[in-house]
Structure 1
Amino acid sequence: MAEPHADPDSFDYVIVGSGAAGSVLANRLSADPNVTVCVLEAGPPDRNPFIHIPAGFIKTLVNPDVTWQFKTEPLAMTGGRRISTVQGRTLGGSSSVNGMIYNRGQPADLDTWAQRGNRGWGYADCLPYYRRSENRLGTCDDSRGRNEDGIPITDMDWINPLSEAFIQGCVGLGIPRCKDYNSGTQAGVGYFQRAIRKGRRVSAAVAFLKPALARKNLEVRTNARASRILFEGKRAVGVQYLAAPSAPAQEVRARREVILSAGTVNTARLLQVSGVGPADLLGRIGVPVVHDLRGVGANFRDHYASRLVMRARPGVETLNELARGLKLGTQIARWAMGKPSILATAPSHVHVFWKSFEGLDEPDLQCVFTPGSYAEGKVYVLDDYPGVTAGAWQHRPESTGWVRARSASVFEDPEINPNYLSDPMDIRVHLGGMRLLRRMLGTPELAKYVEAETLPGLQVQSDDELLDFAKKNGSTTYHLIGTARMGPETDPTAVVSDRLLVHGMQGLRVVDASIMPSMPSANTYATTLMIAEKAADFIRGRDAVAEAA
């Protein structure tokens, strides 16, 4: 049995970040009473009530108290705009502020990882870990998990007639209704599955971290911003952290491993300001080189989406009306009584996984539909007229960018450059997605509910006009990956091995979305949970996949 209080600042494992990956790791590692675990979270506890109300994301995403208010660099392909790419900064990380969508993606995503030299990362290898991380509450086959220690995944229970009309219209276009897009067969249309139970968001902190806090061998320190990894030679031995820019530095030591689960932006930045990264960058920011590792901060990818809006016919009830006045009061009352309501829905209601052009074997697009719309140019402000929104983005963008620290201070936001739409194939797929949206919004089944396209408007028709609209109005989907890419040590741009250990270092591991070699054909949350489950087995020396089932 470990003695967790023998030295209050020394643990076997120090985990930086309490998001999806960090919360899973904290739970699984502390299940062994013979080890001690410390989690450092840069943000506060998750006491903000809007975190736990699903519709509260409208409030939390613009709240700097619980989020990193990161912005991208202004780019030609974004019309010179800096795009907000917010990440969670509280217990649960982004799982406390995200859209709660659970989406595994296509089996080929992971098979591609394995084909790139990452042993044990094929779909068959990873499926047991997806199953371990979820508690599917609904009809499913044995590809799904019913683990009571996992994230509860439920079906949409508040259904608007507009959503059903949209689905029927897609079926009329030849897009099949998909029974379960997480079963290994993704193509089709249907309602999203989400991490909501009994009307409340279930973040990774709620599902994994908090149940483990009763263990004496687990300690969580909030408002503790990791500022530097501590090294002895090439071995990570601890983490320095700060409560504020002018606060005295504090240290926590790691006897076995330092594990970075800080997210795609913060993991890359922390490595860089600690001296692990491209030597030329470290020289520019005045950080001594501990290990020249070219790939740190490179291979950055994100999903870039364009959204079309249609005005609904007079008298049609959308989220825009239900979220105001007496109708909102009714919805709040329904939520309080545990009944389906707009307060307990995900931002996107309907999914469509389909093809940007005919002839593809598998979908290369994700499209979403919501029976509501936001005012143009305003952040999460609903239109004052009834409206609906449909958006589309490319599953696997080819465009890559970077995350680079601007200085040695973790209180200065890094340079974030996703290079959206810089690859010609990405432009082709994006335009195909926008044209598919118009077809789906123009079906006879939906026509009795909607009357006109308001954004971008039917005056926008040519490829050049659509691309110009995408540049000026497209946005992130907050699916940031790749800045500590997994790959063999023979690959000069890889950062971690297939056991997620940082190449050339000892006692240093990365476990979060930054290790993804390529973008999954999905939202990234489900796969991040899977990665953490798999990493926990690596760390504990439990490599037998059968144990995960």
Structure 2
Amino acid sequence: MGQPQEVDVIVCGGGPAGCVVAGRLAYADPNLQVMLIEGGNNNRDDPWVYRPGIYVRNMQRDGLNDKATFYTDTMESSHLRGRKSIVPCANILGGGSSINFQMYTRASASDWDDFKTEGWTAEDLVPLMKRLENYQKPCNNDSHGYDGPIAISNGGQITALAHDFIRAADAIGVPFSDDIQDLKTAHGAEIWAKYINRHTGRRSDAATAYVHSVMDVQTNLHLRTNCRVSRVIFEGSTAVGVAYVHSRNRAHKGELRETIVRARKSVVLSSGTLGTPQILERSGVGSAKLLKELDIKVVSDLPGVGEQYQDHYTTLSIYRASNESVTTDDFLRGDKETQDKIRPTEEELKEMGPEFNKLWDTYFKDKPDKPVMFGSIVSGAYADHSLLPPGKYFTMFQYLEYPASRGKIHIQSTNPYKEPFYDSGFMNNKADFAPIRWSYKKTREVARRMDGFRGELTSHHPHFHPASPAAVRDIDIKTAKQLLPDSLTVGIHMGTWHKPSEPYDANKIHEDIQYSEDDDKAIDNWIADHVETTWHSLGTCAMKPLEQGGVVDKRLNVYGTQNLKCVDLSICPDNLGTNTYSSALLVGEKGANLLLEELGLKVRLPHAPVPHSPIPTGKPAAPMAR
């Protein structure tokens, strides 16, 4: 059946938020005609999507991966010692939910309250958080939902290294918690939940939950994949449709061949933090100065479009693991096993420098639910194994989820395939170095206290002076024998370990390392050389007052236009301390509610599970259950 040329609502972008909006609207009223336009492939029954353990392939930039688009800084960054950051964005139906690490976390309550926007407090949003969840973990609080479309579990594997990590974290003052995703706990360690349905073993992605499930039983949700939205069509300042370009037929005789679809009631932009501002600017919504330079008719002068780009930052350090440890090194499945939220002590704050202390006083001090850093462990080496010596490993990740740094993105052409000007802004605020440096030290102390610890992989740590007490050293045979059962030392003699000039003393492994000022500089240089994105982009179309650089109001309407909303993480006026899939779903649920109110409709909840893609084992949760 051909695609309609006119519908009621057009949703531009099939990431998590877009899938929620399109699915909720279409299911609420079978007579409402909804079109969802996505630039990437359809993810339906794609084994590279639904098999949880092979997500790493979808993160690679190897010419074979068509599931991600890679944004590279236009200019070299002095804050990264001349590097350019690379930020991948999903290019597939379901967006990041189809290719991400599947790690489930939630933002803290104060994160939402910090939006300072009516209707967007944590208290307002908790019912929607519950509505989307099919929570499959035991917990002792009532903040979770159990009948929603998105399955959350501990996944299929929890290794001994995970429990080892939790024990060692407790040894340095980070206590175990059965649920640090209760919106208020900011200092604790837990087994990290995953977006995996424990009954089927499949990834729980937004497209399967919200789009395919509706299309299986109704005909009013129209899906267009491999189509990039070029611009919104306006009549005056009213959005009446969109123009899109098929990715496999971009040009004809040098000209883009656009297809126009009209929208009777609303256009929703949900193309993500890096995509949505580009569509707005190509449509005449953005800084009038920029638009005039590109000969684009100005519909609404909004200088905030494309500004205040935010992300989360990560570094990683790799450690040797004991031979008996169960890791993913032989077949890098990539399941992250545990998470650790921590805040610094008063003594540690004294060492973190004036820039961060100012940020602490204004941002963290009076909000005890905000973790300064996340730390986590992977039971295996998250690295190119062809470059590693033989052995078993575990990887410590350090995550900065409230960076002070900001970036920007702006179009350089009306052509939707022309690369934009992009400045990730990574580390351009000096305050961001201190918490990452501190987290490196803390996760290193956790690693050294783990029973499975067998030394440090020197190539994946800062370059300290060899004479420094902080110098990174692999472990020698004598020390390894002290830590290993006799029956396992054969692995050492076979070459698993090498002997450095100054090996660890087993008796000193559990003493805190003392770092000098030069050591801190070495860590900061390492951060500048290695800090990376966590694929958590947000903030380029902020929901805040127009006079403060805002782009959308509390109902997600784009200032100066009618019938046009932005519903994705670009609307965040401040950062969210979480893996952002959960937040994108929540923004989608909120946006769907706002649209349904305006259309005079309500969310429709089925009385029985609605079938979707056949799954060989188990039965999926109801796709739209509350």
Pair in the same fold by TM > 0.5: yes
Pick closer, same or farther for the CA change 1:157–1:65 going to 2, 3 Å.
Answer: closer
Distance 1:540 1:128 in 2: 16
Given that residues 373 and 383 in structure 1 are in contact (C-alpha distance below 8 angstroms), is that contact kept between their aligned partners in structure 2? no
Given that residues 299 and 560 in structure 2 are in contact (C-alpha distance below 8 angstroms), is that contact kept between their aligned partners in structure 1? no
Q: Residue 86 of structure 1: SS of its match in structure 2?
A: strand
Pick closer, same or farther for the CA change 1:256–1:467 going to 2, 3 Å.
Answer: same
Who is 1:22 aligned against?
18
Deviation at 1:476, TM superposition (A): 0.5
Given that residues 301 and 482 in structure 1 are in contact (C-alpha distance below 8 angstroms), is that contact kept between their aligned partners in structure 2? yes
Q: Deviations over 1:65-87 (max 9, x none)?
A: 22212223431222322233111
Match among 2, 7, 17 for residue 11 of structure 1: 7
Who is 1:352 aligned against?
340
Q: Deviations over 1:245-296 (max 9, x none)?
A: 2152101111111100111101011111111111222233342322211100
Distance 1:166 1:543 in 2: 49
Q: Residue 115 of structure 2: SS of its match in structure 1?
A: helix
Q: Deviations over 1:355-376 (max 9, x none)?
A: 144475342111111111133x
Given that residues 162 and 449 in structure 1 are in contact (C-alpha distance below 8 angstroms), is that contact kept between their aligned partners in structure 2? no
Q: Residue 319 of structure 1: SS of its match in structure 2?
A: coil
Given that residues 392 and 437 in structure 1 are in contact (C-alpha distance below 8 angstroms), is that contact kept between their aligned partners in structure 2? yes
* Alignment map for 1:280-359 (pairs within 5 Å): 280-314=289-323, 316-323=325-332, 342=333, 346=335, 348-358=336-346
Deviation at 1:138, TM superposition (A): 2.5
Q: Deviations over 1:509-532 (max 9, x none)?
A: 000010011111111111111111
Output the TM-score relative to the length of structure 2: 0.78
Who is 1:161 aligned against?
160
Who is 2:372 aligned against?
364
Who is 1:328 aligned against?
none
Who is 1:68 aligned against?
69
* Alignment map for 1:126-137 (pairs within 5 Å): 126-137=125-136
Who is 2:210 aligned against?
208
Deviation at 1:157, TM superposition (A): 3.4
Deviation at 1:424, TM superposition (A): 2.6
Partner AA of 1:61 in structure 2: M
Given that residues 311 and 401 in structure 2 are in contact (C-alpha distance below 8 angstroms), is that contact kept between their aligned partners in structure 1? no
Deviation at 1:179, TM superposition (A): 1.0
Distance 1:357 1:238 in 2: 54
Deviation at 1:227, TM superposition (A): 0.8
Match among 587, 595, 612 for residue 531 of structure 1: 587
Who is 1:486 aligned against?
543
Given that residues 8 and 264 in structure 2 are in contact (C-alpha distance below 8 angstroms), is that contact kept between their aligned partners in structure 1? yes
Who is 1:327 aligned against?
none
Who is 2:34 aligned against?
37
Distance 1:55 1:71 in 2: 27
Where does structure 1 lack aligned partners over 5 or more consecutive residues? 324-341
Distance 1:29 1:81 in 2: 44
* Alignment map for 1:365-380 (pairs within 5 Å): 365-375=373-383, 378=384
Pick closer, same or farther for the CA change 1:129–1:9 going to 2, 3 Å.
Answer: same
Identity of aligned residues (%): 30
Given that residues 154 and 194 in structure 1 are in contact (C-alpha distance below 8 angstroms), is that contact kept between their aligned partners in structure 2? yes
Q: Deviations over 1:419-446 (max 9, x none)?
A: 1122232122222222222222121xx1
Partner AA of 1:79 in structure 2: R
- How many residue pairs are counted as aligned between the two chains? 514
Distance 1:263 1:467 in 2: 31
Q: Residue 310 of structure 1: SS of its match in structure 2?
A: strand
Structure of larger gyration radius: 2
Distance 1:423 1:543 in 2: 46
Distance 1:431 1:356 in 2: 12
Q: Residue 55 of structure 1: SS of its match in structure 2?
A: helix
Partner AA of 2:40 in structure 1: G
Distance 2:150 2:299 in 1: 38
Q: Deviations over 1:128-165 (max 9, x none)?
A: 111111111122332101124x2011114312222211
Where does structure 2 lack aligned partners over 5 or more consecutive residues? 350-364, 463-469, 473-514, 606-624
Q: Residue 130 of structure 2: SS of its match in structure 1?
A: helix
Q: Residue 35 of structure 1: SS of its match in structure 2?
A: coil
Match among 377, 396, 406 for residue 402 of structure 2: 396
* Alignment map for 1:120-199 (pairs within 5 Å): 120-140=119-139, 141-148=141-148, 150-186=149-185, 187-197=187-197, 198-199=200-201
Q: Deviations over 1:294-332 (max 9, x none)?
A: 100001000111111112244544211344xxxxxxxxx
Given that residues 242 and 250 in structure 1 are in contact (C-alpha distance below 8 angstroms), is that contact kept between their aligned partners in structure 2? yes
Given that residues 372 and 382 in structure 1 are in contact (C-alpha distance below 8 angstroms), is that contact kept between their aligned partners in structure 2? no
Deviation at 1:64, TM superposition (A): 4.0
CA-based RMSD of the aligned residues comes to: 2.4
Given that residues 8 and 263 in structure 2 are in contact (C-alpha distance below 8 angstroms), is that contact kept between their aligned partners in structure 1? yes
* Alignment map for 1:391-470 (pairs within 5 Å): 391-443=397-449, 446-454=450-458, 455-456=460-461, 458-459=470-471, 462-470=519-527
Distance 2:221 2:323 in 1: 56
Distance 2:132 2:573 in 1: 21
Q: Deviations over 1:208-234 (max 9, x none)?
A: 111111312110011111011111111
Q: Residue 234 of structure 2: SS of its match in structure 1?
A: strand
Distance 1:103 1:221 in 2: 31
Distance 1:53 1:500 in 2: 35
Distance 2:48 2:89 in 1: 16
Pick closer, same or farther for the CA change 1:270–1:379 going to 2, 3 Å.
Answer: farther
Given that residues 325 and 452 in structure 2 are in contact (C-alpha distance below 8 angstroms), is that contact kept between their aligned partners in structure 1? no
Distance 1:532 1:295 in 2: 22
Distance 1:519 1:365 in 2: 13
Q: Residue 51 of structure 1: SS of its match in structure 2?
A: helix
Given that residues 543 and 556 in structure 2 are in contact (C-alpha distance below 8 angstroms), is that contact kept between their aligned partners in structure 1? yes
Distance 1:8 1:382 in 2: 54
Deviation at 1:119, TM superposition (A): 0.6
Q: Residue 445 of structure 2: SS of its match in structure 1?
A: helix
Pick closer, same or farther for the CA change 1:428–1:253 going to 2, 3 Å.
Answer: same
Distance 2:566 2:65 in 1: 26
- Bigger Cα displacement from structure 2, 43-52 vs 172-181: 43-52
Q: Residue 253 of structure 1: SS of its match in structure 2?
A: strand
Pick closer, same or farther for the CA change 1:292–1:432 going to 2, 3 Å.
Answer: same
Pick closer, same or farther for the CA change 1:270–1:432 going to 2, 3 Å.
Answer: same
Deviation at 1:196, TM superposition (A): 0.7
Given that residues 488 and 498 in structure 1 are in contact (C-alpha distance below 8 angstroms), is that contact kept between their aligned partners in structure 2? no
Who is 1:246 aligned against?
251
Given that residues 318 and 386 in structure 1 are in contact (C-alpha distance below 8 angstroms), is that contact kept between their aligned partners in structure 2? yes
Match among 49, 63, 68 for residue 47 of structure 2: 49
Output the TM-score relative to the length of structure 1: 0.88
Given that residues 143 and 183 in structure 1 are in contact (C-alpha distance below 8 angstroms), is that contact kept between their aligned partners in structure 2? yes
Distance 2:281 2:588 in 1: 22
Given that residues 130 and 145 in structure 2 are in contact (C-alpha distance below 8 angstroms), is that contact kept between their aligned partners in structure 1? yes
Given that residues 320 and 382 in structure 1 are in contact (C-alpha distance below 8 angstroms), is that contact kept between their aligned partners in structure 2? no
Pick closer, same or farther for the CA change 1:178–1:236 going to 2, 3 Å.
Answer: same
